[in-house]
Amino acid sequence: WVASSNPCSPWLYTTTLCERDYWSNKYPYCGGSFQSPIHITSDLLRFSPTLRPIEVRNYKLSSTEQLTLRNDGHSLKLSLPPTMYVAGLPNQFTAAQLHFHWGSSNWPTGSEHLVDSKKFAAELHIVHYNSDKYPDINTAIDKSDGLAVLGVLIKRLSSKVNQILLHICYFVFSDFEVRVPGFNVRELLPARLDEYYRYDGSLTTPPCFPSVLWTVFRNHVTISRQQYLALVTSLHASSAQNQEVAPLNNNFRKPQPIDSRVVLVSFKEGLLVPILVSCSILGVVLIVKFFKFT
């Protein structure tokens, strides 16, 4: 996506000039509006009865299908076949890849989104592009309606994530990749796909295009300590030829400004909704209480 003459190509999560706090120096969108991730707080939430359960299609892949698992120096990325897609959104969105964000052994909270000040161990992103309007993800990536990402908060790894981590020793260094058999990607998601947060945002990595319709599931999936440590301690951001070994950890972006956005939710439970309860005879006096749906 970025010309090689750029001194911050490749961009980094660490070091001085190109670290995440300075991305906007070379990638202007990273300092722009409607950036992701965000801190999802109760005061931002608005219930929307139009939000339907997420419908994932063809997520159960045959074990004969070969997928490419790669350490790209920024994350652990798995290619996905174009037969996978998400329905129930404004358009049909075809799967392209999934990847992870995580912390480190010393900082075991590496999710990108926060929910009411709570961070999670890691976060999974399944990236889709608007295949009704664009021929591929490279064409869609900078369009305002180009991408849809499913975000899964990881608290402690499901057994299916372990299928990915079994291959971790093969791509310790950046640009290493391995072919892995297909599996049921649906099992990476929480059981309930009808409860989620929805907002307009951006890529969480450069070039940070504000092109993403975000769906962050309310319910998390779990991970074991052993699996988490394998993820955060085994990978390097540097190539095998680089004598200076850089660990690949803490690959998350901090929450970005809200920019007057609201976060739509598909559920009522736990929301505080203002209700008018009385008026005075001397003039209209609104007495507002907040009732919590349970």
- Tell me the mean pLDDT in the region 61-65: 96
All domains in the chain, ordered by first residue: 32-269 (3.10.200.10)
Answer yes or no: 113 catalytic.
no
Q: Supply the pLDDT for residue 108.
A: 79
Strand partners for 129 = 94, 147
Confidence at residue 287, expressed as pLDDT on a 0 to 100 scale: 36
**Per-residue pLDDT at 62:** 97
pLDDT at 166: 58
Give the list of residues 6+ apart from residue 95 with CB closer than 8 angstroms, or none.
Answer: 80, 81, 82, 84, 85, 86, 126, 127, 128
- What average pLDDT does range 58-87 have in this prediction? 94
Q: Which of 190, 189, 166 is closest to 179 using CA atoms?
A: 166
Q: How confident is the model over 264-273, as pLDDT tens digits? A: 999 987 654 4
pLDDT for res 175: 67
Percent with pLDDT over 90 in the chain: 59
Average pLDDT, the chain: 83
17: burial class by Cβ within 10 Å (0-12, 13-18, 19+)? exposed
Query: Rounded to 5 degrees, what are φ and ψ at 128?
Result: -125, 155
Least confident interval from 13-17, 64-68, 277-281: 277-281
Name the 3-class secondary structure at 164: helix
pLDDT at 123 over 90: yes
For residue 273, the model assigns a pLDDT of: 46
Note the pLDDT of residue 19: 62
pLDDT tens-digit map of 136-182: 999 999 999 999 999 999 986 445 555 666 555 555 556 678 888 99
Residues in Cβ contact with 32 at an 8 Å cutoff, skipping those fewer than 6 apart: 24, 208, 210
pLDDT of residue 275: 37
Whether the pLDDT of residue 216 is over 60: the answer is yes
Q: How confident is the model at residue 289 (pLDDT cuts 50, 70, 90)?
A: very low
Which among 264, 284, 248 has a CA at the least distance from the CA of 174?
A: 248
pLDDT cut 70: percent of the chain above it:
76
Catalytic residue among 39, 74, 99, 220: 74
Of 100-109, 144-153, 234-243, which gets the smallest average pLDDT? 234-243
Q: Flag whether pLDDT at 88 surpasses 60.
A: yes
> Each residue of 18-34: pLDDT tens digit?
566 789 989 999 999 99
CA atoms within 13 A on the CB side of 50: 5
What is residue 40's predicted lDDT score, i.e. its pLDDT?
Answer: 98
Mean pLDDT computed over 235-258: 78
